[in-house]
Amino acid sequence: MLALFCWGTLGGVLIELVHWYNLRTNQNFPAYAKSPLYWLTGAAMALAGGLVAVLFLGSTGDPKDAVGLGLAAPAVLQKLIAGGLTLADRTGAQGDAKGTELKRGSASADIKDFLIG
């Protein structure tokens, strides 16, 4: 389980490295890069990738799956925090199986349902 947590965390770190790689040609160094809060948040998001990997894979998952979940976790969490991810986004439908309409930003969205597919 610890190994999967580490693999998931690696996925979270890799997505942050991609962010910084894309900034390499930017003439304006981001002001937020000097903020300790930014780095703490980035570390927390990477650790969230490890946590998501463990929650969904348990102790029997594949390291590649754990890295993939770690890569995806920060983006999914950011959309949830912004209120822009719902069950309707995942299914392409405008409602759930019971016919209940789900709107963008709805509290009815379930992250576990989204990640399971």
d(CA 59, CA 49): 15
Measured in residues, the chain has a length of 117
Tens-place pLDDT, residues 9-22: 999 999 999 988 88
Domain boundaries defined on the chain: 1-71, 83-117
* pTM (two decimals): 0.65
- Is the pLDDT at 3 greater than 90, yes or no? yes
Tens-place pLDDT, residues 58-98: 888 999 999 999 999 988 888 878 776 555 544 444 444 44
pLDDT, residue 34, reads 85
Highest mean pLDDT among 28-32, 52-56, 98-102 belongs to: 52-56
* CA-based nearest residue to 9, from 75, 71, 61: 71
